Chain A
Amino acid sequence: DVKVTQSSRYLVKRTGEKVFLECVQDMDHENMFWYRQDPGLGLRLIYFSYDVKMKEKGDIPEGYSVSREKKERFSLILESASTNQTSMYLCASRSDRRVTGYTFGSGTRLTVV
């Protein structure tokens, strides 16, 4: 079974902390994405990557950065966490061949206090 794995299901961090959210996929997908999911707002794209060391801003990149040093791993970094970054964060991946849709991880519920 293909997998996108997000390292933490729940995280609680303090305001101002640097936070790392990790995502690993085992499908050799070129494209990886980070979304945040908020009630009434749906999924909003933060960053995406179409290759190792490549990254592109999505719709709401402010306050976030990403890292893709290996094909299978895509990390989301909150440089200085703030309470308005409390959210569910979803990672997704897809192959360039587009044989299937986007595969999602189970999400990380981040609470910033």
Chain B
Amino acid sequence: AQRVTQPEKLLSVFKGAPVELKCNYSYSGSPELFWYVQYSRQRLQLLLRHISRESIKGFTADLNKGETSFHLKKPFAQEEDSAMYYCALSRSPGGSYIPTFGRGTSLIVHP
């Protein structure tokens, strides 16, 4: 069964500090991984897909198949980054593309 683990419920940093939100997954196939963000009172928005290898709002995430991790990083946190972040995994081609989400990490960036 596929599983996504976000070990931190809450991450609190000061503005300008580096941020790393951890995500570990368990899945025997080739995963498709995402990071979603939910700002206060807004809908979930896609932040990153591992396939696209983009940098969105200064965030990056690298898939490490050896460690089965997809940690989200940003070198300098901003107050507007305060939000709930969810890591998600979807099965590779051939599966039914059911997304499984982690429990989320609340990021608070203090001024």
Contact = CB atoms under 8 A, between A and B. Distances in A.
A102 B46 contact: yes
Contacts of A107: 43
Contacts, number: 50
Interface residues of B, number: 22
The bracket for how many chain A residues form the interface is: 20 to 34
Interface string B21-38: 000000000001010100
A100 interface: yes
A90 B44 contact: yes
Given A40-B103, A42-B104, A43-B86, A105 B43 contact: yes
Contacts of A100: 46
B100 interface: yes
B46 A48 contact: no
B101 A42 contact: yes
Given A40-B9, A90-B44, A102 B86 contact: no
Given A40-B103, A43-B86, A104 B98 contact: no
Interface of B: 6, 9, 32, 34, 36, 42-46, 49, 86, 88, 96-104
